[in-house]
Amino acid sequence: MVMTSGRVRALLVLLVVACGLSPRFASADEGPLDTSQPKGITPEEIIQRFSAKEKEFKEALDQYAYRESAKLQTLDGETPDGEFQETFDVSFDDRGHRVKNVVFAPLPSLSRISMSREDYDDLENGFPMVLTSDEIGQYNVLYVGQQQEDELHCYVFDIAPKQIEKNKRYFQGRIWVDDHDFQIVKTYGQMVPETRAKKGKGNENLFPKFTTWRQQIDDKYWFPTYTRADDTLHFATEDVKIRMVVKYTNYKRFGSNVTITYEGKEIPKDQQGKPQSPPPH
């Protein structure tokens, strides 16, 4: 998000250590963090397995239509004083090309901040964060322990980009990997890099810490269903408290000739495309 009284862009500031981002949106059934090493498998093997599953997940998600609804508010205390909303459908045209169709986008009433290009990109690509075997080499990945998430036993890792390349977005924070399917089921962190003012001068582009929960769709893939951010952005001129909720619903596989695999096996068409909705939060 950018301050509305923006000037010239200045310094890029990266949060260096992912483990400095302590999770804030723990579920009611989240257990204590057990820092012991996993049994029967090494952290490196877990990383290889979940990144391979993420590649399968990304390829599958590219063949699903869904609806995404986002609402962002700035708060004065607990009272909203500005709002941005957008709902769009991700679907396919008659040639099988992926398309985005905005179905609801009222005029924003934000006055203290405005949506930047990076904010829109995060809505479409950042919050559903995917960490595939093709991308894992760009990150430092640190095993931090094991933790119960509702009914799931998870391995927990902190991740941070090794370096920042121009015009690229990265996730930095914590992920929870289910020990049965070896898929990411929850993420907490922040999109980086940010742009901060140098000596109080210049445009700032800051991003909130967020949590994304995934839900199993079609009994195979853990797709994002709910993202929440409740954070204060510390601009040089003022602090701005924001609250954001993003929901992903109506997942349905596109009926093309493209095959989807799971653990190296093609998924039968009669087991694909059952619409799902996120659990309430």
Dist. CA 211–CA 129, nearest whole Å: 11
Question: pLDDT of the chain along its 281 residues, tens only?
Answer: 998 743 222 222 222 333 344 433 344 478 999 999 999 999 999 999 999 999 999 999 999 999 999 999 999 999 999 999 999 999 999 988 999 999 999 999 999 999 999 999 998 888 888 899 999 999 999 999 999 999 999 999 999 999 999 989 999 999 999 999 999 999 999 999 999 987 667 789 999 999 999 999 998 899 999 999 999 999 999 999 999 999 999 999 987 544 445 455 555 545 544 444 444 44
Identify the pLDDT of residue 268. Answer: 55
Identify the pLDDT of residue 70. Answer: 97
Domain boundaries 2-7+30-252, CATH class: mainly beta
Strand 239-253 with 261-262, pairing: unpaired
Q: Which letter, b or e, does each residue of 67-105 get, where b requires 16 or more Cβ atoms within 10 Å of its Cβ?
A: bbebebbbeeeeeeebebebbbebbeeeeeeeeeeeeee
Neighbours of 114 (CB within 10 A): 16
Identify the pLDDT of residue 279. Answer: 47
Q: Which letter, b or e, does each residue of 2-28 get, where b requires 16 or more Cβ atoms within 10 Å of its Cβ?
A: bbeebeeebeeeebeebeebebebeee
Q: Are 157 and 47 in contact (CB under 8 A)?
A: yes
Domain ranges of the chain: 2-7+30-252
Q: Which two tokens stand for residue 186?
A: 């929850």
Q: Is 270 helix (H, G, I), strand (E, B) or coil?
A: helix
C-alpha angle 151/273/262, rounded to 5°? 65
Q: Are 206 and 194 in contact (CB under 8 A)?
A: yes
Identify the pLDDT of residue 256. Answer: 52
